Structure 1
Amino acid sequence: MKNNRQEEPEYFVSKSQRKRDMDALQDLGKMLTEYPLARLKKVPMSDNLREALVEMQRLTANGARARQLQYIGKLMRSEEAAPIREALEALSGNSRAETARMHRLEQLRERLLEDEATLTELGDLHPGADLQRLRQLRRNALRERAENRPPHAFRELFQMLRALEDTSVADEEMPED
């Protein structure tokens, strides 16, 4: 007679571990409910989960919200959690990739302020870029810095550089026909 312990599969997961995993997925679902729906558009998830999040935003009664949160936790079990976590980290700015991207954009902005030739590089990299607007923002940011004024153009320049990078990444991800 064989020992039952030897016949157990190697991938056995205890009931306690499964509960912890489900609680972690429910916590992830709760984190999803804390973001505005517009910011969650880039988060990879099923349509059912997206609809449940829309419904959660609509609910006001605490009991209904608690039941909806349980339902979202149930839907999370069928979702791929890793891409959702990565997307949420990027949204909150906690991911290393997002931090590195922000540093890269800040360095590009400083290079642009130091040397106008960087505009030519940007024009080559992003053919659709509004170089005239970039030049104007550069000039205004330098003036703000010289006159010790609030950095409105400086921030707008960063936003424009980020938008340029976002559009170029979106263009790269689009499949070619």
Structure 2
Amino acid sequence: MHNHPEHELDDDFDDRPPSKSQVKRDMLALQDLGKQLVDLSPEKIKQLPLEEKLFEAIRLAQRTTAREGRRRQIHYVGKLMRDADADAIRRQLDIWENGSREQTAAMHRLETLRDLLLQDDNALTKLLNEYPGADVQHLRALIRAGRKEAENNQTLQPGQTPQRKHYRALFQALKALDDAA
């Protein structure tokens, strides 16, 4: 091994400034993040950790309808993003995005459960084991009404609108049960 300190590289610390390419990639990432913020609703923007100047720039970009003016305003938002807490903003955006995926999955699960309850008598027993505090009589009434509604819908003439009142009511009861648990 040579005793030349200038040839020894410390892998954990590089005191060289970032390359021009890296600086450009970072700036473009901030620009993209700024554009994502412009596409958000005003209610969501208010929930983000933004300085007033950045918040106002985003709101102005949202109100700007001229294509070139909007592009320039979004570019300005990207420039202001250099001073923002981009990591905190990205974390919040990720929470919103993943939260909505989880909510969609929960809705699909409840829809499947509702359909199963309307088709299979044993499904209610399984549901009651999972939710022992459920109102059995109310659920049975909704299931009966939903089944009757489905039967009536099968005899409709072409062009007639199927009824979904009890079908929806059963879903809402399952959602309330799930939310309470």
| TM-score bucket (shorter structure) | 0.5 to 0.7
Q: In structure 2, what is the equivalent of residue 77 of structure 1?
A: 86
| Partner-residue secondary structure (3-state), 1:108 | helix
Q: In structure 2, what is the equivalent of residue 159 of structure 1?
A: 172
Picking from 79, 100, 103, the partner of 2:108 is: 103
Q: In structure 2, what is the equivalent of residue 173 of structure 1?
A: none
Pairwise CA distance, 1:162: 2.8
Picking from 37, 41, 45, the partner of 1:33 is: 41
> How does the TM-score come out when normalised to structure 2?
0.56
Structure-2 change in CA distance of 1:135 and 1:61 (3 Å): same
Partner Cα separation in structure 2 for residue 11 and residue 104 of structure 1: 51
Picking from 2, 19, 24, the partner of 1:16 is: 24
After superposition, the C-alpha distances for 1:137-168 in whole angstroms (9 at most, x for unaligned) are 21221111100132222123223323332332
Q: Which runs of 5+ in 2 are unaligned?
A: 66-72, 154-161
The amino acid that maps onto 1:116 is D
The amino acid that maps onto 1:118 is A
Structure-2 change in CA distance of 1:128 and 1:23 (3 Å): farther
After superposition, the C-alpha distances for 1:17-36 in whole angstroms (9 at most, x for unaligned) are 111221232233234326xx
Contact 2:142 2:170 in 1 (8 A): yes
Contact 1:112 1:118 in 2 (8 A): yes
After superposition, the C-alpha distances for 1:16-72 in whole angstroms (9 at most, x for unaligned) are 1111221232233234326xx4xx6xxxx66x45x998xx89xx9659xx69x949x
Structure-2 change in CA distance of 1:155 and 1:29 (3 Å): same
Matched, 1:121 2:130: no
Pairwise CA distance, 1:110: 1.9
Structure-2 change in CA distance of 1:70 and 1:76 (3 Å): farther
Partner Cα separation in structure 2 for residue 130 and residue 11 of structure 1: 66
Q: In structure 2, what is the equivalent of residue 171 of structure 1?
A: none
The amino acid that maps onto 1:163 is A
Percent identity, please: 26
Picking from 141, 144, 147, the partner of 1:142 is: 147
The amino acid that maps onto 1:108 is L
Structure-2 change in CA distance of 1:167 and 1:22 (3 Å): farther
> How does the TM-score come out when normalised to structure 1?
0.57
Q: In structure 2, what is the equivalent of residue 133 of structure 1?
A: 138
Structure-2 change in CA distance of 1:31 and 1:89 (3 Å): farther
Partner Cα separation in structure 1 for residue 145 and residue 168 of structure 2: 11
Pairwise CA distance, 1:126: 2.5
Q: CA RMSD in A?
A: 4.6
Partner Cα separation in structure 1 for residue 138 and residue 39 of structure 2: 38
